[in-house]
Every structure is written in structure tokens, then in C-alpha cells.
Structure 1
Amino acid sequence: MIAWLKILLPLAALVLLSTLFLFARPSNPIAALPFAQVEIEEKLRSQGITEPYFAGQTPAGDQIAMRAASARPDPEALHLVNSVDVAVDITMQDGGSARFASKSAVVNTDNQVANLEGDVEINSTAGFDLHTEKLTLDLLEGRAQSDVIVHGSGPFGTFEAGSMLYSGDTAAQNAQFRFDNGVKLIYMPSRN
């Protein structure tokens, strides 16, 4: 009896396994993906780039690198690109740097100007930590300008100004911040 069971049980297991494969339904892996037709049509309609990166150099030799979470051409003006979560890094030849970051930006590809909007943050190795709502950044020259209120802190204290101009490295001088239009400063001398 045991000799017959040693033969019959493995054969029964083999028959059960073969029926699993013979009668199994074929699966379509593409049909199982959860995409709504409306979502697919929207993705096909809207062109865009995820995580674009742009780098260049100013005539003075400063390095400029711009990155964003996404970028899409404006449907009404193809030379304008709407970008989200933008960061622009400018690195000077002397090793100093400045970073301009915002929630959104519109980049004009014709004249290489980026208009940053929505909680623009400016940080530099010179010790500035600034905030404003709008900033125009010339990507060819490495120059930034804000005509709205700028506030923050710097190496000399905290302040608020009606406008700001950042100019990159030139032949005559290193990069500098210039504040105008009613500057209010709380001077904090350094304690050495």
C-alpha cells in the first residue's frame, strides 16, 4: 500500500499543478493600470517637461544654473515658459554664490529673462537672507531686480527696502546688492 501511495500521491500533485496552468485565464497587464480616460486626454493635450535644467555663463564668467520641478509652454505665447518650484544658482568666479528660489516663474526664451513670483527667497554667501514677492532675473547677465518690498537680514542687521538690484560680477567690482526706495535698517553690530 505504501509503495503504491509513493507513486500515486506525486502523480496526483502533478495533475493538480498542470490543471492550474492549463485552465488559468490570461492576464492583460496594460488593462490593469488605473488610468482614467480624462486624465490620459489631459496629459496628451498639455506638453511639458519634468525637472528641466538650464546652465550657462555670463560674459563676466559667472556660472548660472536654473532648475524647476516642471515647465510648460504658454499656450498663447510660445516664447513664454511657465515653471513651478524654480531655483536659480549664480556662482561667481571668486567662489561666492547667490540662490534665487520661488514657487513659480515665467521664463521669456526670446530675451532670456525669468520673472519669479510667489514668495521669492534670496540667499547669498555674502550673508543675505531676503524675501520678496516678485523678482526679474536676467539670465544672460546674472542681474536681478525687484521693484516691490524686499525684507530680510544681512551681515549688518535686518532691513526692509522698496526695491533691490543684484548685479553679478563685473570687470570693476564683485557681485553686490543695492537697496533703494525707503530703506529701513535695524543695525546689529557684530560682537568680536
Structure 2
Amino acid sequence: MAWAEDRYSRLIGWLKVALPLTALALLSTVFLLSRGQDASTDLPYAEIDVGKDGLVERVLRPSFAGATKDGDLIAFVAETARPVGEGLGKLSADDVRARIDLRTGGTITFRSDTAVMDQPEGLAELQGGVVIVSSSGYTAETETLRAGLRDLFAETDGQIHAEGPLGRFVAGRMRLTAEEDGETVQMLFTDGVKLVYLPQSQ
């Protein structure tokens, strides 16, 4: 009787060691198989497109954020982006949004269909349906806009249509800059400005 109980105890002790090891081996096999079959499809931040030139990486919802030397905050975000050339220093982005939070308290936002983000140069070239909105009450539309990724700077390449507290107007170009004192930000409209004044009462 004692011999049977001793044998039973040894069997139980052996099973306590063998069963967890077997379960661990099976679990490891499952993970290895799943990784070998489909390792990249679960990545939330990137996916691979197959094109005529081979594999092209597409980054999902990339963002760029920085601050000017005066403390203004600049942030860009896009729906998707693709590398231009080698590396990720220059990206071609789609559905781009940008926001500048001025140190003085105001805000300026940009929106465009596409953009090329050149991080080494610190420059973004927005194209297609560019909309500029300032907290001072101005809304402007143009086709192309160059904006700084690290500096408070923006400039259009061509005609711009805008509306604000003074009324509706058209200008050949628009330039956004900060004064040397860092306290004043100007949206300067030039090259044949045509204004339709709308009285405040309307």
C-alpha cells in the first residue's frame, strides 16, 4: 500500500513538471508559426504597397512637431506619407493638417490635399486646396503654400483669395512672418490686392 502511494506521488510530481513544459512548448510554437506567416500585417503605423518599382513603404498618420526660437509651437499631421528618395528625411504626404500655436495666444491652421515634408530643410510645400485660417478672423484659400517646420514662416506661390474683418479680397501673394521682437505676427498680402469692403453692420 505504501509502495502504491509512493508511486502515485512520484507520478503527480512528474506531471507537475512535464505538463507546464509541454504547454510552454506548444505556446511557443503557435507564436513562431503566426510570426512566420504574417509578421507585418498587424503593424498599426505602416503598411507595404506593391508597385511597379517594387515595395514602397507607406507611413500611416505621421506627425511633425517643433517649436520656434521664440516659443511658438508648430505641428503637422498627415493621413499617409511615402518616402521621397532614400530614408525618411523627405516625405510625400496626403491630407495634411497643420497648426501653429503662437506664444502671444493666437492660432493659425493650414490644410491641404498633399504636401512634401523636407525635414533636413525644415520646409513643407503644401499643394492642392490649401486653406489658411487664423484666430484673428481671416480665412484664405490658395493652391500652393510653403511653410516652415521649425520657423514661423509661410508664403504662397500665387494668387490667394481671403475673407476677414475688413471684407473679401484677392491678392497676388501672401507672406506670414514674425517681427524681430517675436511679439508681432503679420499676414502680408501683396501684388495687386483687390478688396471688397463689407461694413461691420452687415
CA distance in 2, matches of 1:48, 1:155: 41
Moved over 4 A (4+): none
Match of 2:64 among 45, 54, 60: 54
1:71 paired to 2:81 = yes
1:58 deviates by: 0.5
Partner residue in 1 for 2:143: 133
Residue matched to 1:159: 169
Q: How much does 1:172 deviate?
A: 5.2
Instruction: Tell me what 2:15 maps to.
Output: none
Deviation (angstroms), 1:76: 6.8
Q: Find the partner of 1:149 among 140, 151, 159.
A: 159
Between the two proteins, the alignment pairs up a number of residues equal to 159
Q: Which residue of 1 aligns with 2:113?
A: 103
TM-score by length of 2: 0.70
1:169 is displaced (CA, Å) by: 6.3
Q: For the Cα contact (< 8 Å) 1:60–1:170, is it kept in 2?
A: no
From 50, 55, 69, the equivalent of 1:42 is 50
- Could you say what the CA RMSD is over the residues aligned between the two structures, in angstroms? 2.8
CA distance in 1, matches of 2:120, 2:182: 29
- Higher percent of residues as strand: 2
Letter in 2 for 1:132: T
Ranked by relative contact order (alpha carbons within 8 Å, sequence separation 6 or more), the top structure is 1
* SS in structure 2 of the partner of residue 69 of structure 1: strand
Which segments of 5 or more consecutive residues in structure 2 lack a partner in the other structure? Answer: 1-33, 42-46
Could you say if the C-alpha distance between residues 156 and 46 of structure 1 is closer, same or farther in structure 2, counting changes exceeding 3 Å? same
CA distance in 2, matches of 1:75, 1:143: 25
Q: TM-score, normalised by structure 1?
A: 0.74
Distance 1:49 1:78 in 2: 10
1:155 Cα deviation from its structure 2 partner: 1.2
Q: Of residues 100, 103, 124 in structure 1, which corresponds to 2:134? A: 124
- Secondary structure of the equivalent of 2:127? strand
